[in-house]
């Protein structure tokens, strides 16, 4: 029996996209933002939209800066409780990626009330509440509307010392790249939507997408950690490109070193791919240099949209062991070195 067979309502059938795969394509987003002028910014706005970073950061005083972010999406799984858990974990990830600690959240809820029983909606909210309880924060309020497709997420607020904010545009040449979670969530979600994902594959997917990126708090304390981001809808290649562009550097990825969710590899080899993966490639593929003869399914894994994906850390080589130890201490067993930052532009895959 597949992972969704026993569910009377399939949430993934109520939406055209799912998870971070329903993000606006990177090329379209770039065009939209380019048309929006950046006006005079207050000096205390440490991070705004100019760097395509994970969250906005505003200095409150000499020892505190406020991190503010929002993230929401349509269902990536059919189980309502799991959908709530994944969406909340994903939203809080932006706080951890900036090196901060969350302290409060607000719920963003859009539900088709004519299609979903209140009991199902309640389970989605309970899933989000459970993750926030794990993070030690309250959901203190929010906003809800009646819409055509189910949407859930959070406005997340956190705090960080102004000197410890970890941006995505401050990597240095020679930095080691460390990835905290395995890749392949988008491909697993595509298999799930077809009703073909195994129970074991579903368990692997849930384990990855509901693990809070808490190592970001401790990594912000390490002077040798220069940049961080989390891998979400634009895939590993897309979010690494954001680091490259902002830092005015290039990057080299070692494909053989990349960690993947086991069942995602099997589906990728069979040609399972998301529409978002193809949109990602169309949006930024010209900046990616692939080795000759790379199979199409391997390329698709580089652009596969990750929902609640892992932290990508650019750090000095001398603190690599400390970074990996911190990931390991918090249960991120798949964390590993995947490449390095170099002079130049774009991403080269070896």
Catalytic residues: 20
Q: Report whether 180 contacts 259 (CB < 8 A).
A: no
CB within 8 Å of 64: residues ≥ 6 apart? 159, 160, 161, 162
CB within 8 Å of 142: residues ≥ 6 apart? 106, 107, 108, 109, 154, 155
Cα 188 from Cα 277, distance rounded (Å): 13
Q: Report whether 276 contacts 23 (CB < 8 A).
A: yes
* Order of strands, sheet of 336-342, starting from the edge strand that comes earlier in the sequence: 225-230, 311-315, 176-179, 336-342, 250-253, 347-349, 288-289
Q: Report whether 153 contacts 90 (CB < 8 A).
A: yes
Reported residue count of the chain is 350
- Classify the C-alpha dihedral 166-171-174-179 as positive or negative: positive
- Spell out the long-range contacts of 6-9 with Cβ–Cβ below 8 A and sequence spacing 24 or more: 7/78, 7/79, 9/78, 9/116, 9/117, 9/120
- Distance, CA of 2 to chain centre: 26
Dump the DSSP string for 123-157: HHHHHHHHHHHHHT--EEEEEEEE-SS-EEEEEEE
């Amino acid at each position: 029996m597949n992972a969704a067979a026993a569910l009377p309502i399939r949430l993934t059938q109520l939406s055209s996209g799912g998870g971070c795969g329903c993000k606006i394509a990177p090329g379209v987003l770039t065009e939209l933002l380019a048309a929006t002028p950046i006006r005079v910014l207050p000096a205390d706005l440490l991070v705004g939209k100019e760097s395509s970073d994970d969250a906005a950061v505003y200095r409150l005083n000499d020892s505190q800066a406020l991190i503010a972010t929002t993230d929401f999406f349509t269902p990536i799984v059919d189980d309502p409780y799991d959908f709530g858990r994944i969406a909340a974990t994903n939203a809080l990830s932006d706080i951890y990626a900036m090196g901060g600690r969350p302290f409060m959240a607000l719920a963003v809820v859009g539900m088709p009330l004519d299609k979903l029983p209140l009991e199902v909606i309640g389970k989605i909210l309970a899933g989000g509440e459970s993750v926030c309880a794990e993070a030690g924060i309250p959901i203190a309020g929010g906003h809800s509307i009646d819409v055509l497709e189910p949407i859930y997420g959070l406005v997340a607020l956190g705090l960080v010392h102004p000197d410890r904010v970890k941006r995505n545009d401050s990597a240095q040449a020679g930095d080691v790249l460390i990835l905290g979670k395995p890749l392949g969530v988008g491909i697993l979600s595509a298999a799930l939507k077809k009703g073909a994902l195994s129970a074991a594959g579903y368990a692997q997917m849930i384990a990855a997408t509901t693990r809070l990126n808490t190592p970001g708090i401790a990594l912000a304390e390490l002077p040798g950690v220069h940049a961080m981001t989390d891998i979400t809808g634009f895939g590993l290649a897309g979010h690494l490109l954001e680091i490259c562009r902002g830092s005015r550097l290039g990057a080299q990825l070692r494909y053989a070193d990349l960690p993947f969710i086991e069942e995602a590899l099997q589906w990728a080899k069979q040609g399972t791919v998301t529409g978002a993966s193809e949109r990602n490639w169309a949006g930024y593929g010209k900046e990616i240099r692939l080795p000759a003869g790379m199979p199409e399914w391997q390329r698709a894994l580089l652009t596969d949209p990750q929902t609640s994906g892992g932290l990508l850390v650019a750090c000095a080589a001398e603190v690599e062991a400390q970074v990996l130890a911190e990931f390991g201490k918090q249960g991120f067993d798949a964390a590993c070195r995947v490449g390095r930052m170099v002079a130049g532009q774009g991403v080269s895959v070896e």
